[in-house]
Structure 1
């Protein structure tokens, strides 16, 4: 494994990330709402994958739990939501040991396999969490990462808590596709859309996360191809990932037409066990599907969008199985493009 790939795999989790690149307007909106003393109890932080939504959510949670009084001098004079990493609140959140923060996210099942959804049993934890006696800090914060992964029963369970929020409760819901969030949940949230990062911010963030110099040619190339996503830039840093992404994107643009020779070549390019190559391929597919879901006319194209959403679920499961069991990559390539071709005809 190259040093670049090793750097990517050591990227800190958003709960440990204290730097925020870009999104200053969104950060200011959260800060101003908090110190007004009338902050909405639920926020839907939406935008493309890998642009810093979770980082912003944890940054807000950290600030609120570190400064429980919105009228305190520390809040009134704050220029942003930063909290010193040595602050006890920051350390406890980084260690997943803060009693005032609940995080809903996908977990592993009894066999150690990551679930595809957030379950209703996990979501019901919000009832006991918000129903318990307030922590010493006074606030209870729940981060849902992501609301897109709630199964229907879990979404309904969350909705019950959103409908009757306890005092000093704050929900930070993260979504890669906010347009597909249940209307009943949307109606109870303040929407906070985040735009893809500027290329300069992607370079800064990827440089900080990977340890590479900001003018490193590979990093600059990956950031340019990442379209505002730091996680995508870090994925593209590995090996020939940028070329692989370009090849995949060209084949997606030609759909529903398929070229068997190109499919064979792409399958060979994925290799036998290169995790970065597989991640790049899946990310390219997800980005393309996400773009289709956001740009198609929802009224005129509902059947087509429904087919694409269904196909993406199948692709996602197949990709996870391929990675987990180290299956051959070429059958996955043929299966993925076969499904996409059928869905786009």
Structure 2
């Protein structure tokens, strides 16, 4: 699709998130630049783009056409290290999570002298995908940060992170983009797609590929109390292999359960509203645990759909 936004490393602008940018700029201005910043928010909302924007600010590469800016764009800046999920060459897709071997280079990188005489910056994109060993290794780094070093950590599920890890970070929570900001990022997409994306450019691009109808059909069947047939099982197996599809299915189920809880509350049926609210919270736990511990997503989808069917049968 033409008109897709550039990848985060190459993005010349950040649309929205001005409150987070101001918070960081104020810390810079007053000399209170914390060593770790947790950038959290919905999937596809621009967390990695903001992380690179702030990294450019620290390294003096905000001008993409400057020598420093070009090195950051090319991935050759000696004082910037990026950690994210790697591609599995056998499967041709991203691995399920970030492992300790992915995190180990951070320790060496941060204890080397900066090649350009300033700050050393690390971006860890997708903190919720760290396995337990990787999370503990990163925590040790945050507990003993070297001078003139800063980490930007992104997460779509901050509630599932180690509390000790979260407590060592300054929080930069992001929300969805406004309608005009979405239109500026993706001017070629129709308004109905942008509206259903809830302020997430990444979600909008996914919806534009038409995959949402598959998820919506499963959710509608589950909310009606229907049993899963062979075709449903095949669909679930396919969705489990697609991170975007899994996230969208969880979002649609969560919205449907929350709507039912709200309707029950308005009707005065507070016991049922409480049960549905509890199931909505449980759905969130299923999602966080499956992503944090790299669990079988097909099983997570089945468990999530079972919650929706129970909500109908009560």
Deviation at 1:246, TM superposition (A): 4.5
Asked if the contact 2:250/2:283 (under 8 Å) is kept, the reply is no
Correspondences of 1:68-79 after superposition (within 5 Å): none
Asked if the contact 1:311/1:343 (under 8 Å) is kept, the reply is no
Within the alignment, does 1:203 sit opposite 2:203 as a pair? Answer: no
Partner residue of 1:100?
Answer: 79
SS at match of 2:44: coil
SS at match of 1:135: coil
Deviation at 1:88, TM superposition (A): 1.6
Partner residue of 2:23?
Answer: 29
Within the alignment, does 1:46 sit opposite 2:16 as a pair? Answer: no
Asked if the contact 1:144/1:174 (under 8 Å) is kept, the reply is yes
Partner residue of 1:88?
Answer: 67
**How far apart, in 2, do the equivalents of 1:15 and 1:187 lie?**
27
Partner residue of 2:196?
Answer: 225
**How far apart, in 2, do the equivalents of 1:293 and 1:94 lie?**
43
Deviation at 1:190, TM superposition (A): 0.6
Within the alignment, does 1:237 sit opposite 2:208 as a pair? Answer: yes
Deviation at 1:133, TM superposition (A): 1.2
Asked if the contact 1:51/1:228 (under 8 Å) is kept, the reply is yes
**How far apart, in 2, do the equivalents of 1:229 and 1:59 lie?**
18
Alpha-carbon spacing, 1:287–1:315, altered in 2? closer, same or farther (3 Å): farther
Give per-residue Cα distances to partners, 1:293-313, cap 9 Å, x unaligned: 99999x977877555545675
Across the aligned residues of Structure 1 and Structure 2, the Cα RMSD in angstroms comes to: 3.6
Deviation at 1:282, TM superposition (A): 3.5
Within the alignment, does 1:120 sit opposite 2:100 as a pair? Answer: yes
Asked if the contact 1:147/1:174 (under 8 Å) is kept, the reply is yes
Could you list the runs of 5+ residues in structure 1 that have no partner in the other structure? Answer: 1-5, 68-82, 213-217, 319-334
Q: 1:341 aligns with which of 302, 305, 309?
A: 305
Could you list the runs of 5+ residues in structure 2 that have no partner in the other structure? Answer: 262-273
TM-score (norm. length: structure 2): 0.78
**How far apart, in 1, do the equivalents of 2:149 and 2:27 lie?**
14
Asked if the contact 1:245/1:280 (under 8 Å) is kept, the reply is no
SS at match of 1:7: coil
SS at match of 1:144: strand
Deviation at 1:135, TM superposition (A): 2.3
Alpha-carbon spacing, 1:220–1:303, altered in 2? closer, same or farther (3 Å): closer
Alpha-carbon spacing, 1:267–1:220, altered in 2? closer, same or farther (3 Å): farther
**How far apart, in 1, do the equivalents of 2:150 and 2:255 lie?**
30
Within the alignment, does 1:258 sit opposite 2:248 as a pair? Answer: no
**How far apart, in 1, do the equivalents of 2:139 and 2:27 lie?**
22
